[in-house]
């Protein structure tokens, strides 16, 4: 048993940033050595975007996997050194379990150690949700990933599919949310025939100006077939599988990716022993300052059930950090506005704020400004890159010209959306974007033309 000033369970964005900046004795617990640095840099944001870029630039999948692994190894080591060089930080590789409000047992094989801390941050993130469907078996775990024994599996989650070998000729993706869409676009780019199973009607049905239908057309041209329906059962057959949908139709595929969302990683943490409350989804209950039901214990990142974005985990660290020394949080999660999102299709689709229907329901009289990217003469950059798919849509208050929301499906949208979000937070009116002086040729120039309709 040993005592520290701050115990952090889980090496995510918030956890590692808090650990690196805290002046005191810190213990940082991570279950897998391959997740040093957190989910984002090891198995999620960075590696998947590396693979997407490789697919878009014609790099074969085996070479893309190697490039991915080389980059991730370097980032993993850099994060490890960041904590190792802290001076008073201890890294514990093992599984954490509460045995009291401020006591945690960490187990690695047959070895255990008890850690007590006045301040604890739970930052265990989320894990893939696998649906209860007949025939699902043998989906590789993170432990399998850590030992690189995921290659030949037929059933996959978003982690193991990144090392599938060989590249599946026929891939079924169950779930058409952001994860499913990104992997569908990626594997189609690598040459797989992809069937994307969507349990809802249409893609991005909540977005304006028919963007969902246009995205589906773009995916079809890339080699993705979108089917509406649900998976009833699946069974291995030869080196692949036979999937049966609820309408009775069957698909023969080489691999299945279950991209059916992620759930907070709280199972096995022993939260009940600490008196830490969770909701019906298993997410840790927190207030706006991320305090749990136990004094001196906070939760950061996906584990508290909020939107699952690394940049919000980073903002969680800003909320928690001053509280660790008895200070006041600079803001709360309830004060966040204009939080942007990006789904990394080709080109990427980014959104912020309200849709037209949401704005009207909120009482606004709205002006919708929308154009296909190919029709925006003042935006030559997509043409220079040969990526003219896409549409840009702004939702503007008709009376005040306040920007209420935007949907940018275009080259560089992951950057443009940050500018739009900043404008919304700062109260910058739409005509200031319209009349802005932007570099040329750039994607930002689209605002000059699109917003002329005010």
Q: How far is CA 306 from its chain centroid?
A: 12
Q: What angle do CA 319, 39, 253 make, to 5 degrees?
A: 140
Print burial letters for 216-244: b (CB count within 10 Å at least 16), e (below 16).
bebbeebbbebeeeebbebeeeeebbebb
Q: How many residues are there in the chain? A: 454
Query: Rounded CA gap, 18 and 26, in Å?
Result: 9
pLDDT of residue 137: 74
- As a whole number of angstroms, the distance between CA 407 and CA 393 comes to 5
Non-local CB neighbours of 362 within 8 Å, separated by 6+ positions: 354
State residue 148's pLDDT score.
57
- The backbone torsions φ and ψ at residue 123, rounded to the nearest 5 degrees and listed phi first, read -140, 45
Model pLDDT, residue 146:
64
pLDDT tens profile 52-91: 999 999 999 999 999 999 999 999 888 888 888 888 899 9
CB-CB contact of 348 with 379 (8 Å): no
pLDDT of residue 142: 76
Q: CA-CA distance, 305 to 6, in Å (whole number)?
A: 23
Annotate 99-155 with DSSP letters as a single string: EETTEEEEEETTEEEEEEEEEEEE---EEEPPP--BT------HHHHHTT--TT-SE
Give the pLDDT of residue 76. Answer: 86
In DSSP terms, 394 is beta-bridged to 369, 406
From residue 228, give the alpha-carbon distance in Å to each of 83, 161, 187, 246, 249.
Answer: 46, 23, 19, 10, 12
Spelled out in words, what is the top-level CATH class assigned to the domain 142-260? alpha beta
Cβ neighbour number for residue 63 with a 10 Å cutoff? 10
Eight-class DSSP state of 362: T
Q: Are the beta carbons of 324 and 119 closer than 8 angstroms?
A: yes
Task: Check if 2-128+263-335 and 341-453 are the same fold.
Answer: no
Question: What is the pLDDT, as a whole number, of residue 150?
Answer: 56
Question: Is 80 among the residues known to form the active site?
Answer: no
C-alpha dist (Å) from residue 168 to 190, 201, 226, 256, 359: 10, 27, 17, 9, 43
Nearest Cα residue to 68 out of 59, 80, 58:
59
Which listed residue (102, 304, 331, 440) is catalytic?
440
Fold of 2-128+263-335: FAD/NAD(P)-binding domain (3.50.50)
User: Is the separation of the CB atoms in 433 and 420 below 8 Å?
Assistant: yes
Task: Give me the residues of the chain with pLDDT under 50, please.
Answer: none
Report the C-alpha gap between 116 and 22 in whole angstroms. 17
- Residues 6+ positions from 269 with CB-CB distance below 8 Å: 9, 96, 97, 98, 122, 124
User: Nearest to residue 296, comparing CAs of 98, 96, 118?
Assistant: 118
Pick the CATH number of 341-453 from 3.30.365.10, 3.20.20.105, 3.40.50.720, 3.30.390.30: 3.30.390.30
Every domain of the chain and the residues it spans: 2-128+263-335, 142-260, 341-453
Instruction: Provide the b/e sequence for 417-447 (b: ≥16 CB within 10 Å).
Output: bbbbbebbeeebbbeebbeeeeeeeebbbbb
The whole-angstrom separation of Cα 219 and Cα 221 is 5
pTM, entire model: 0.96
Residue 349's nearest CA partner among 189, 175, 179, 211 is: 211
pLDDT at 339: 98
Predicted local distance difference test score (pLDDT) of residue 144: 74
3-state secondary structure of 250: strand
Please name the residue ranges forming H helices in 119-256.
142-146, 178-190, 211-222
């Amino acid at each position: 048993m040993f005592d520290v000033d701050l115990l952090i369970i889980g090496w995510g964005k918030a956890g590692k940033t808090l650990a690196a900046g805290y002046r005191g004795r810190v213990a940082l617990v991570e279950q897998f050595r391959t997740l040093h640095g957190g989910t984002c840099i090891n198995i999620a944001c960075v590696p998947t975007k590396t693979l997407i870029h490789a697919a878009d630039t014609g790099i074969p999948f085996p070479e893309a996997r190697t490039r991915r692994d080389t980059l991730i190894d370097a980032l993993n080591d850099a994060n490890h050194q960041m904590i190792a060089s802290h001076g008073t930080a201890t890294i514990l590789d093992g599984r954490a379990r509460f045995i009291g409000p401020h006591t945690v047992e960490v187990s690695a094989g047959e070895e255990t150690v008890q850690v007590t801390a006045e301040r604890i941050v739970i930052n265990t993130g989320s894990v893939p949700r696998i649906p209860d469907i007949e025939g699902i078996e043998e989906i590789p775990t993170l432990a399998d990933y850590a030992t690189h024994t995921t290659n030949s599996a037929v059933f996959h989650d978003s982690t193991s599919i990144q090392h599938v070998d060989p590249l599946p000729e026929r891939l079924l993706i169950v779930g058409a949310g952001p994860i499913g869409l990104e992997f569908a676009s990626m594997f189609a780019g690598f040459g797989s025939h992809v069937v994307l199973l969507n349990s809802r009607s249409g893609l991005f049905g909540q977005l304006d100006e028919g963007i969902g239908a246009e995205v589906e057309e773009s995916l079809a041209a890339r080699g993705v077939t979108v089917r509406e329906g649900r998976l009833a059962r699946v069974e291995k057959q030869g080196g692949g599988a036979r999937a049966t949908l609820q309408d009775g139709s069957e698909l023969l595929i080489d691999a299945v990716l279950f991209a059916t969302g992620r759930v907070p990683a709280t199972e096995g943490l022993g939260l009940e022993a600490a008196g830490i409350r969770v909701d019906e989804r298993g997410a840790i209950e927190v207030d706006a300052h991320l305090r749990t039901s136990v004094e001196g214990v906070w939760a950061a990142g996906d584990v508290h059930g909020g939107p699952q974005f690394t940049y919000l985990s980073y903002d969680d660290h800003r909320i928690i950090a001053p509280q660790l020394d008895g200070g006041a949080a600079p803001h709360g999660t309830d004060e966040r506005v204009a939080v942007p999102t990006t789904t990394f299709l080709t080109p990427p689709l980014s959104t912020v704020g309200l849709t037209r229907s949401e704005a009207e329901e909120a009482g606004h009289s709205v002006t919708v400004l929308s154009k296909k990217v190919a029709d925006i003469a003042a935006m030559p950059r997509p043409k220079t890159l040969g990526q003219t798919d896409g549409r840009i849509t702004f939702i503007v208050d008709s009376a005040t010209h306040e920007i209420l929301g935007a949907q940018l499906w275009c080259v560089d949208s992951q950057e443009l959306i940050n500018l739009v979000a900043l404008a919304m937070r700062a109260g910058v009116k739409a005509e200031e974007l319209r009349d802005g002086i932007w570099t040329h040729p750039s994607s930002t120039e689209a605002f000059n033309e699109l917003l002329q309709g005010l």
